[in-house]
Structure 1
Amino acid sequence: MESSEIKRIRQVYAEYRQQGRWSSLNPGREHIEAERLRQLSATLKKQNHSLFRYKILDIGCGSGDLLNWFHQEGAKAENLFGVDLLPDEVDSARRKYPKLTFTEANAENLELRDNSFDLISTFMVFSSILDEQTSKNVAKTITRLLRPGGVIAWYDLRYPNPNNPSVRAMTKTRIRQLFPNFHLKLHSTTLLPPVAEKLGRHTDLIYPLLGKIPVFRSHYVGLLEQGYSAPLSGRG
């Protein structure tokens, strides 16, 4: 039986889609999306992660754009898999990227083989889960599915959003609580979306300037790598 938290998440994201949130037609949003992918690509290369041989799972895959980006970065189509709670998103992903594999599923209990993925991506996943046990269940699934030495590609909120009670901040402390045996190779990114989306024709000029100010960066992007144990105390 589906939990109340999963039902809530389904409803929230269905409403987001109806409202047309995160439209890439906005210049600020375009900068946000390009920046996070550019920075993730740089981190993967710096840590010597070659996607050509990687089997990759994208949790909360939406319409498949991130998974297709991994394909463009060198991953083989037959090694790319996405799961999402929303059937409409899965259908859209299948139409857009027929060579990739997409499934409607709850990430708490994926029926996939242990140690079967080299990289699992979680973009804006955990900030959308308000129930602590659900977060732990998803984290446990991810840890189970990753092969030894596998990595998590991470992008998520580091600040709370006072205008959106359906999300919560994923600080480094919270991330470590969910993934205590992972090393966090994260850095702050993304100019505060309410600011970025209002820059209009001045985006190209102003976004890079404001984005240099750490307090204006609302998200973390980077990798979580296995084989590291960190204390759970501390700020961030």
Structure 2
Amino acid sequence: MLGESPESGDEVKRLRKIYTEYLREGRWKYDSLGRQQLCKERSDAIETLIDEWFGRPLCECRVLDVGCGYGSQLRWFNERGVPPENLFGVDLLSAHIESARRRYPAFNLMQANAERLSFPNDSFDIIVAFTIFSSVFENEMAGNIASEMLRVLKKSGAILWYDLRYPSPTNRSVRAMTRRRISRLFPSTVIRLKSISLLPPLADSLGPTAAITYPLLAGIPFLRSHYLGLLTAAPGASDS
């Protein structure tokens, strides 16, 4: 693991403990039909978002996933043309990285604290930030991670954002990432977000009717649990 600031040491320990507990609980087993619909909706929306924004083929992109977990988002980009040598992932937990390496040995994966990324400035076209900041309670650590993301992001690039917009009544280890909080973390960016994803407990309850009922319920704005979107450089910025 790369070095961490002394101020964030307790927060790093807390995060490691929480995510280790998540692993033991099998929290990320998305077996329900409703959760499968949620994942499909998100995947389709990301594809549309990138197609509309990015002006060149994905095969030319370099992608970094901060908090890459088991590497599923990197796999998504690989399936859409990004070569393995252009796919990078970092995660705080060694267990996540070990599992991701077994699944995707050609990807560039490393255990690291995202407060200090070992990449040069302007290295990536796309940085994936999926449900990372909702887990980080310490403002200084969150600010350090955001600053590092912006440092290694090309001025023509974008942060692909997906995170909670509501607090979770069943998980006190996460907090809502409101538009105000996102703006405070990334004050120099243009932030384009939309609400998406049916509340997961509701999605899980849909059963065999999910293919029909999920789109209907997800069309109700206050039932959408997350924000999805892009954070890009402010107008006038250019690659160095």
TM over 0.5: yes
Deviation at 1:48, TM superposition (A): 2.8
> Equivalent residues in 2 for 1:73-222 (5 A)?
73-222=80-229
Q: How many residues align?
A: 229
Task: Give yes or no for the alignment of 1:71 onto 2:78.
Answer: yes
Deviating beyond 3 angstroms after TM superposition, the runs of 4 or more aligned structure 1 residues are none
Q: Deviations over 1:5-33 (max 9, x none)?
A: 01111111111111111312221221122
- Give 1:151's aligned amino acid: A
Give aligned-pair identity as a percent: 45
- Give 2:62's aligned amino acid: K
Deviation at 1:112, TM superposition (A): 1.3
CA distance in 2, matches of 1:208, 1:191: 9
- Give 1:43's aligned amino acid: L
Q: TM-score, normalised by structure 2?
A: 0.92
Q: 2:50 aligns with which of 44, 48, 54?
A: 44
Q: Deviations over 1:155-188 (max 9, x none)?
A: 0001111221110111111111111111112110
- Equivalent residues of 1:24, 1:30 under 8 A apart: yes
- Equivalent residues of 1:23, 1:29 under 8 A apart: no
CA distance in 2, matches of 1:12, 1:32: 24
- Give 2:54's aligned amino acid: N
Deviation at 1:101, TM superposition (A): 1.0
Runs (5+) with no aligned partner, structure 1: 230-236
Q: Deviations over 1:54-91 (max 9, x none)?
A: 11100010011100101111111110000001111101
- Give 2:202's aligned amino acid: V
Q: Give the 3-state SS of the residue equivalent to 1:15 in structure 2.
A: helix
2:25 — aligned with what? 19
CA distance in 2, matches of 1:19, 1:91: 18
- Give 1:29's aligned amino acid: R
Deviation at 1:228, TM superposition (A): 4.8
Q: Deviations over 1:121-179 (max 9, x none)?
A: 01000001011111000000001111111100110001111221110111111111111
Q: 1:8 aligns with which of 10, 14, 20?
A: 14
CA distance in 1, matches of 2:104, 2:54: 27
- Give 2:173's aligned amino acid: S
